[in-house]
């Protein structure tokens, strides 16, 4: 990854809102409860295999809300791809740097960062959009559409049913967590507004509910 692929803007967040702070501080505290250092690819394995097949040999990938870098950044970096990860949590980024030393990581709020146009062959956004303020999610998707090269792929999980709320002692830990998500139809229309073609849509069950899964592509002629 060259300097030219780095973020071109990241304004200091002097007035971080309470919900974003709750998410950032929550993952600082709950990072290890969410995922251990030695976690395997689990349910991500087929998605990662498909992504690797779709990437060019010198593919560049941005992982938005990369967490501790395991399994996504580690799997892609081990396969020889160039990986950049951003996450709002300092602890997640510290772990990612330790666990995936061949990738580049930056602590940043994805809704506030800017990259140059058309620098990534793929953007991965798994279980992170749903922690961002709802009104900021369509704009981030539009930015992702700009950061992708023509023909580039977005792999994302998103809300299936609209819901915003907080859970105390999430994962049995000492901190609350906050989510905000639209429903599948919202994400469908936001992806289209971002100039991305949805090529595949799925549902990933979790407890009583689940998440929408999208593969979307920037048209090769864009």
Ligand X SMILES: C[S@@+](CC[C@H](N)C(=O)[O-])C[C@H]1O[C@@H](n2cnc3c(N)ncnc32)[C@H](O)[C@@H]1O
- Give residues in contact with ligand X (CB under 6 A): 23, 27, 35, 65-67, 86-89, 92, 109-111, 126-128, 131-132
φ and ψ at residue 89, rounded to 5 degrees: -90, 125
CB of 33 to ligand X, least distance (A): 11
Smallest distance from ligand X to CB 221, Å:
30
Number of other residues whose CB lies within 10 A of the CB of residue 158:
26
Q: What secondary structure letter does DSSP report for 181?
A: E
* Minimum CB distance to ligand X, residue 71 (Å): 7
Residue 28 or residue 151: which is nearer to ligand X going by CB?
28
Distance CA 198, CA 196 (A): 6
- Cα-to-chain-centroid distance, residue 201: 17
Smallest gap from Cβ 161 to ligand X, in A, equals 17
CA distance linking residue 113 with residue 17, whole number of Å: 16
- Give the nearer residue to ligand X in terms of CB position, either 123 or 221: 123
67 vs 152 by CB, closer to ligand X: 67
Q: Closest approach of Cβ 80 to ligand X, in Å?
A: 21
Q: How far is CA 194 from CA 12, 138, 160, in A?
A: 25, 8, 19
Token output for 107: 């602590």
What is the C-alpha radius of gyration for the chain, rounded to an integer number of angstroms? Answer: 16
By beta-carbon proximity to ligand X, the closer residue of 138 and 151 is 138
Judged by CB, which is closer to ligand X: 17, or 58? 17
* Cβ-contact 149, 119 below 8 angstroms: yes
């Amino acid at each position: 990854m060259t300097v030219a692929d780095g973020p071109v803007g990241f304004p200091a967040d002097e007035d971080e809102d309470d919900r974003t702070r709750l998410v950032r501080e929550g993952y600082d505290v709950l990072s290890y409860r969410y995922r251990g250092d030695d976690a395997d690819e689990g349910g991500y394995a087929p998605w990662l295999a498909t992504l690797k097949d779709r990437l060019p040999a010198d593919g560049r990938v941005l992982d938005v809300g990369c967490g501790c870098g395991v399994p996504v950044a580690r799997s892609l970096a081990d396969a020889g791809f160039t990986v950049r990860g951003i996450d709002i949590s300092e602890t997640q980024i510290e772990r990612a740097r330790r666990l995936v030393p061949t990738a580049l990581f930056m602590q940043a709020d994805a809704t506030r960062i800017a990259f140059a146009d058309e620098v990534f062959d793929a953007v991965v956004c798994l279980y992170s959009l749903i922690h961002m303020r709802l009104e900021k999610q369509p704009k981030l998707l539009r930015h992702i559409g700009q950061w992708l090269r023509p023909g580039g792929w977005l792999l994302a999980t998103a809300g299936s049913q609209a819901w915003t709320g907080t859970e105390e002692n999430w994962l049995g830990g000492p901190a609350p967590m906050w989510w905000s998500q639209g429903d599948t139809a919202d994400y469908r229309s936001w992806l289209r507004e971002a100039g991305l073609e949805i090529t595949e849509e799925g549902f990933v069950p979790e407890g009583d509910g689940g998440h929408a899964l999208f593969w979307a592509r920037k048209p090769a002629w864009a």
